[in-house]
């Protein structure tokens, strides 16, 4: 018995040398190369997205044609271990003829356990789904954002802070949650831009008061297939500058989001329905009447809302390749900003598009969009703006 | 009195165990394959990523990115990763 223990390893070793000897020099070289190419634990990836195209924008009888393509978004990702992950997106764009870099997000995530991941840094806020999950040019099926998102929008974009997020199943049902503490949005008090008094600013790095804003989102998948998701989001915090008469002004923001992605086998198509409703309520405050020397003030009920609903359909399962790459999309959106404010407006927008997918993240988008009721106090008569575009968007 | 607290703690423990196990995914969920999760989940925001897009190492990074961004459970993300790594060549 004891002998066997001695013989076995010797036998195995000799087998090993035999196997090695039988390897040709070529395959030994290949094995050597393989070892040197063995990936390490820390893994880096560079990605991003870009879009370019032609826009034709008509308002008040005049059409402007413009080639667009001055923005680029490189993204870097770094996985240090199965738990530790870093992501950052930079946004380069021409602003008044000068090229400038901005930091869209940069955050570190640590997977604590199966149900919890903590993130810290500047991140896309999980307020609804559009900004966090759908806005990149190769994901958004239209080239524009719905009313209420982006420049002069009422929905928050990014902020700095910490966040806890996770997902788990309860039987067939899946839940996901995100809860965060951030520096928070800031109130425009009208001292710099009198026409925008009472608006919120999002995405700023520094805090203007010591009150941290808190918020979160709860997402709910009622079916085991994950086809349907309904989400509820909220964000609340003081928004006025510390020590100013706006110091106690608080903003409460809410959103409801909806997503249904389903295979309609009788049409050999995928249908995708998405929507989000945003509501913003900002505490009352008195703002100075612009260009008035007698210290006159005005106020208004500072509530806004916006929503969009989008339907897209792609005949992914028809045998003709050209047709299976086509996609039809329609979106309706609407926004109401406060009555009595200098940024009061109630536009509605209809956008339709025809897309051709070259691969899963490269698309040519042909679109038309008409927006009614655009305006601010500089143009008392609300205007209509029409836009045609052809864009090429790609994720890389 | 002591008995009562023992009984309540037992009831509590049974309750908690019952609750936690009811939190567990159903057999239908745990039986899902990586390919199935990819087909159902990776189409919700963008087109499903073709396996041939990336190398094994790149999938390792991208699926952790998606686990975090798209709120997948680690189990779902691992299954999708293994599917993509097996299907990319």
Structure tokens at A65: 């044609």
**What tens digit of pLDDT does each residue of A281-300 get?**
999 999 999 888 888 999 99
Nearest to A119 by CA among B65, B81, B78: B65
Q: Do B26 and A176 lie within an 8 Å CB cutoff?
A: no
* Nearest-10 Cα torsion for A342, A149, A226, A325: 140
Q: Which residues of B touch A361 (CB under 8 A)?
A: 46-47, 49
Beta strands in A283-339 (DSSP E): 287-288, 297-298, 302-314, 326-336
Taking all residues of chain A, what is their mean pLDDT, rounded to a whole number? 90
- Taking CA–CA distances from A260, the nearest residue in chain B reads B44
Answer yes or no: is pLDDT of B51 > 50.
Answer: yes
Q: How confident is the model at residue A23, as a pLDDT?
A: 52
Which of A142, A167, A216 would you mutate first to test chain B, the one with the most B CBs within 10 A?
A: A167
C-alpha A89/C-alpha A123 separation (Å) is 10
B44 and A226: CB-CB below 8 Å? Answer: yes
- Please indicate, yes or no, if residue A18 is contained in any of the structural domains: no
Query: A334 and A307 in contact (C-beta within 8 Å)?
Result: yes
pLDDT at residue A9 tops 70: no
Q: Using pLDDT thresholds of 50, 70 and 90, give the confidence band for residue A17.
A: very low
d(CA A92, CA A72): 5
Q: How far is B15 from chain A (nearest CA, A)?
A: 16
Whole-number Cα distances in Å, A52 to A147, A236, A269, A394, A396: 21, 37, 28, 9, 14
Contacts of B38 in chain A (CB under 8 A): none
pLDDT at B34 over 50: yes
Q: Quick one: pLDDT at residue A376?
A: 62
What is the pTM assigned to this prediction? 0.87
Cα within 13 Å of Cα(A100), Cβ side: 8
pLDDT at A309: 98
A102, A95 Cβ separation under 8 angstroms: no
Residue holding tokens 């926004």? A335
Q: What percent of chain A has pLDDT over 90?
A: 76
For residues A10 and A5, give the distance between their C-alpha atoms in angstroms, rounded to a whole number. Answer: 9
- The position carrying tokens 């738990």 is A83
Q: What is the pLDDT of residues A272-281, one digit of tens each?
A: 999 999 999 9
Q: Determine the pLDDT at residue A11.
A: 45
Check B26 against A138: CB less than 8 A apart: no
Q: Of A130-139, A347-356, B5-14, B37-46, which range is least confident?
A: B5-14
**Residue A36 pLDDT class (50, 70, 90 cuts):** low
pLDDT in tens, A47-85: 999 999 999 999 988 999 999 988 999 999 999 999 999
Task: State the smallest CA–CA distance between residue A226 and chain B in angstroms.
Answer: 6
Give percent above pLDDT 90 in chain B: 66
A23: which 2 tokens? 């390897």
DSSP string for A193-216? -GGGTT-EE-S-SS-SSSPPEEEE
- Residue A80 placed within a domain: yes
Pick the residue of A34, A47, A48, A79 with the most B CBs within 10 A to test the interface with B by mutation: A79
For residue B10, the SS3 value is helix
Domain of residue A376, residue span: 39-395
- The pLDDT confidence band at residue A239, using thresholds 50, 70 and 90, is very high
| Structural contact between residues A44 and A391, judged by C-beta atoms closer than 8 angstroms | no
Cβ atoms of A159 and A122 closer than 8 Å: yes
% of chain A with per-residue pLDDT over 70: 89
Measured CA to CA, the distance from residue A291 to residue A289 in angstroms comes to 7
- Virtual CA dihedral for A150, A152, A158, A159, nearest 10 degrees? 170
pLDDT at A124 over 60: yes
A352-377 average pLDDT score = 92
Q: How confident is the model at residue A34 (pLDDT cuts 50, 70, 90)?
A: low
pLDDT score at A291: 84
A5-14, A172-181, A349-358: range with lowest mean pLDDT: A5-14
Minimal Cα–Cα distance from B40 to chain A, Å? Answer: 6
Of A77, A176, A360, the CB nearest to B47: A360
Are A57 and A374 in contact by the 8 Å Cβ rule? The answer is no
> Tell me, what CATH number does A162's domain have?
2.40.160.10
Q: What integer is the mean pLDDT of A98-113?
A: 96
Long-range interactions of A97-105: CB distance < 8 A, separation 24+: A99/A70, A104/A73, A104/A158, A105/A158
- Tokens 């910490």 label which residue? A162
Q: pLDDT digits over B69-83, tens only? A: 999 999 999 999 999
Look at A31-35, A228-232, A391-395, B35-39 and tell me which has the smallest mean pLDDT. Answer: A31-35
Residue A1 maps to a domain: no
The domain total for chain A is 1
Domain-located, residue A381: yes
Which residues of chain B are at the A interface, by a Cβ-Cβ cutoff of 8 Å? 22-26, 28-29, 40-41, 43-50, 53, 56-58, 60-62, 64-65, 67-75
Residue A30 domain-assigned? no
Residue A9 lies in a domain: no
* Rounded distance between C-alpha atoms, residue B88 and residue B73, angstroms: 22
ipTM of the shown complex: 0.87
Residue A4, H or E segment: helix A2-22
Q: Rounded distance, CA A135 to CA A276, Å? A: 13
Q: Does the pLDDT at position A19 exceed 50?
A: no
- Alpha helices (H) in B24-73, listed in sequence order: 27-30, 34-41, 56-69
Cβ–Cβ < 8 Å for A128, A255: yes
């Amino acid at each position: 018995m004891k002998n066997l223990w001695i013989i076995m390893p010797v036998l195995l070793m000799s087998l090993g040398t035999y196997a090695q000897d039988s390897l040709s020099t070529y395959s030994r070289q290949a094995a050597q190369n393989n070892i040197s190419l063995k990936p390490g634990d820390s893994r880096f990836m560079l990605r991003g997205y870009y879009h370019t195209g032609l826009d034709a924008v008509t308002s008040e009888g005049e059409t402007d044609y413009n080639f667009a393509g001055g923005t680029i978004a490189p993204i870097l990702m770094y996985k240090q271990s199965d738990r530790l992950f870093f992501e950052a997106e930079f946004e380069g764009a021409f602003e008044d003829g000068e090229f400038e870099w901005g930091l869209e997000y940069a955050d570190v995530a640590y997977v604590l356990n199966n149900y919890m991941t903590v993130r810290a840094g500047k991140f896309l806020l999980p307020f609804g789904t559009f900004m966090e999950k759908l806005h990149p040019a190769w994901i958004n099926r239209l080239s524009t954002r719905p009313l209420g998102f982006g420049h002069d929008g009422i929905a928050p974009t990014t902020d700095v802070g910490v966040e806890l997020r996770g997902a788990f199943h309860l039987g067939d049902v899946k839940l996901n949650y995100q809860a965060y503490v951030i520096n928070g949005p800031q109130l425009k008090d009208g001292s710099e831009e009198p026409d925008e008094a009472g608006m919120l600013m999002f995405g700023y790095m520094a805090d203007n008061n010591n009150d941290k804003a808190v918020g979160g989102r709860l997402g709910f998948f009622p079916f085991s297939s994950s086809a349907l998701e309904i989400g509820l989001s909220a964000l609340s915090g003081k928004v006025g500058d510390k020590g100013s008469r706006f110091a106690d002004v608080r903003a409460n923001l809410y959103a409801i989001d909806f997503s249904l992605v389903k295979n309609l086998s009788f049409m050999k198509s995928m249908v995708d329905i998405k929507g989000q409703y945003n509501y913003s309520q900002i505490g009352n405050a008195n703002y100075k009447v612009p260009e008035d020397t007698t210290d006159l003030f005005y106020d208004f009920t500072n509530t806004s809302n916006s929503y969009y609903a989008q339907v897209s359909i792609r005949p992914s399962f028809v045998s003709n390749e050209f047709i299976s790459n086509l996609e039809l999309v329609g979106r309706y959106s609407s926004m109401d900003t406060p009555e009595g404010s200098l940024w009061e407006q109630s536009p509605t927008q209809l956008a339709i598009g025809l897309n051709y997918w070259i691969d899963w993240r490269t698309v040519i988008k042909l679109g038309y969009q008409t927006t009614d009721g655009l305006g601010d106090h500089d143009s008392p008569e609300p205007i209509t703006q029409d836009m045609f575009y052809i864009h090429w968007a790609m994720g890389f | 009195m002591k008995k009562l607290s023992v009984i309540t703690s037992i009831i509590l423990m049974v309750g908690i165990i019952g609750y936690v196990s009811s939190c567990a995914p159903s057999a239908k969920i745990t039986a899902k394959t990586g390919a199935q999760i990819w087909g159902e989940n990776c189409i919700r925001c963008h087109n499903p990523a073709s396996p041939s897009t990336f190398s094994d190492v790149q999938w390792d990074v991208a699926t952790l990115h998606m686990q975090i961004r798209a709120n997948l459970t680690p189990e779902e993300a691992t299954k999708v990763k293994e599917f993509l790594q097996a299907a990319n060549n």
